[in-house]
Amino acid sequence: MTRPPLTSLDGTDYDVIVIGAGAVGCASARQLAGRGFRTLLVDRGDIGAGTSSRSSRMLYSGLGYLAARYPLWQMPFRPADMIRRLLYTRDVMRCRAELVRDMPGHLTKHRFHYPFRKGDRYPPWLVDLGFRLVEALDGWRVPLAYRRLPAVKAAGESAMAAALGGPLRGVGVFEEYMYAWPERICVDTALDAERRGATIRTYAEVTAITREGEGWLVALDERAPGMQGRAQVRARMVVNAAGPWIDRVPGGGAGKRRVIGIKGVNVMVRLPEAFRGQGLEAFSRKGEPYYVFPWRDFHFIGPTETEVTANPDDIRIEDGEIDYILAEANHLFPDLQLTRADVLHCWCGVRPTSTRDGRTTSLPVEVAEDPAMPGLLAVTGSTIMLHRHAARKVARAVEKRLGKRGSEPTGAIPAPETHDDGIGQMAAREHVVRLSDLIRRRLPDGLEPDLGRGRAEALSRIAAASLGWSEARRQDELRHFEEDTDRVYRQI
């Protein structure tokens, strides 16, 4: 599919323009197009190239959302907060079941552990209750199969459990899913939106949003290499789904901060072969969530939880963050003695957290409309886990203003075939603009231990033949891929 010039969109009209092709934006476009709204999905870069591609890759069961930061004795005196947490966790579990049903080819299933240690903030009986409650909130549609074992029995079943340092009071064992390919969830959701009638335009930066009559005028600038152009498109409504960049979209808000970024760092390491495919969830010595997640022959560990206000484009990994993550792993598994020499690579992302009065909140997903800017919606507080739930909230908000036109889209979204003989066609039809788009978000190569470098040369030739690149452009794309890899991932 030849990429048309951006000017081909100039003067076009839509019911809704969705800004941001991350998980929430792609799912919103799918919901809106499936319900009969003329929809345009735009992003200044590639589909799923922002926060969605730097997540923990965990289809999280939601137990941590029930964990309050205030003392346990205060829980009975904060019923509104606890009800909010229960409702949020219910939404998480429903989305978990929905993804297991509709996108099984994008997920992998693993055995996970939860260590009970002396001095833990949460007693075993309360954690047991939490797991049962989480399962019940989903109606047991996709059970966690949770059970608490004595430390000796758990050690006999699992080398990872046997390696845990003491003193242990027991080990919880449960089943959980991970995203085998989080970037493809975004891509395949966007392509499904396109099949339902949405228009997709990547590498188109929103430079202004202005009121025009009863609707909105959105200015776009071309960002694809070797191309120039501008366009102005109209819409009755605009959905700002730019994640941690939401407050940086020109004209996309009323000047007040709606999100604060939470920086999370992940570190990829090779653990003992006997740990392969197994994971662990725990709390760090600071009382923050901590995990050891399986990833093919490796594991990644983390995260950090650091509030940031800088541009997410400028966020980088600090040495102290790596050292903290390694120290927590060595505390859990004393015999590992991990050092920076054991780190394969690391990456970080910025999770957009809703704000209230300038502070982060535990509020659920919000779709807000400023009364002074009717028809301009902002989506905050979502994660990749809740992207379908957020999209339904967006669709209902649009229907409230524009009226209902169709029913909610349903149906499974299969994982793509990635045989070598079909890569050229994939590049042509899946909005690939840069080599990094193909390697990192259309193919699994970008998630391999070598981060896709091993096949970059061969894939650049396939892309060049399919997309009509000159030899000079192909070389430029190889250089850009290396630069982009160094920007996204830090290697020690």
What does the pLDDT read at residue 211? Answer: 96
Spell out a b/e string for 230-267, using b for 16 or more CB atoms within 10 Å of the CB, else e. ebbbbbbbbbbbbbbbbbebebbbeeeebbbbbbbbbb
Burial of 39 (0-12, 13-18, 19+ CB in 10 A): buried
> Residue 395 and residue 2: Cα distance in Å, rounded?
31
What does the pLDDT read at residue 286? Answer: 87
- List the beta bridge partners of residue 113: 173, 280
Strands 215-222 and 199-201: unpaired
Cα atoms in the 13 Å half-sphere on the side-chain side of 181: 23
> Residue 100 and residue 89: Cα distance in Å, rounded?
17
Residue 50 main-chain phi, psi, to 5 deg: -100, -125
Is omega for the bond preceding 250 within 30 degrees of 0, making it cis?
no
Write the DSSP assignment of 419-474 as a string of letters. Answer: -GGGHHHHHHHTT--SHHHIIIIISGGGGSTTTTGGGHHHHHHHHHHHHT--HHHH
Q: Cβ distance 215 to 77 under 8 Å?
A: no
What does the pLDDT read at residue 71? Answer: 72
120 CB contacts (<8 Å, ≥6 apart)?
A: 169, 283
What does the pLDDT read at residue 107? Answer: 95
What does the pLDDT read at residue 239? Answer: 98
What does the pLDDT read at residue 1? Answer: 54
Helix (H) or strand (E) holding 26: helix 23-34
Q: What is the pLDDT along the chain (492 residues), one digit of tens a residue?
A: 578 999 999 999 999 999 999 999 999 999 999 999 999 999 999 999 999 988 888 887 667 777 776 776 677 778 888 888 888 888 988 999 999 999 999 999 999 999 998 888 788 998 899 899 888 887 778 889 999 999 999 999 999 999 999 889 999 999 999 999 889 999 999 999 999 999 999 999 999 999 999 999 999 999 999 999 999 999 999 999 999 999 999 998 767 788 889 999 999 999 999 999 999 999 888 888 899 999 999 999 999 989 998 999 999 999 999 999 999 999 999 999 999 999 999 999 998 888 765 555 556 789 999 888 999 999 998 889 999 999 999 999 999 999 999 999 999 999 998 888 899 999 999 999 999 999 999 999 999 999 999 999 999 999 999 999 999 999 999 999 999 999 999 988
What does the pLDDT read at residue 196? Answer: 98
Single pTM value for the model: 0.95
> Residue 232 and residue 323: Cα distance in Å, rounded?
48
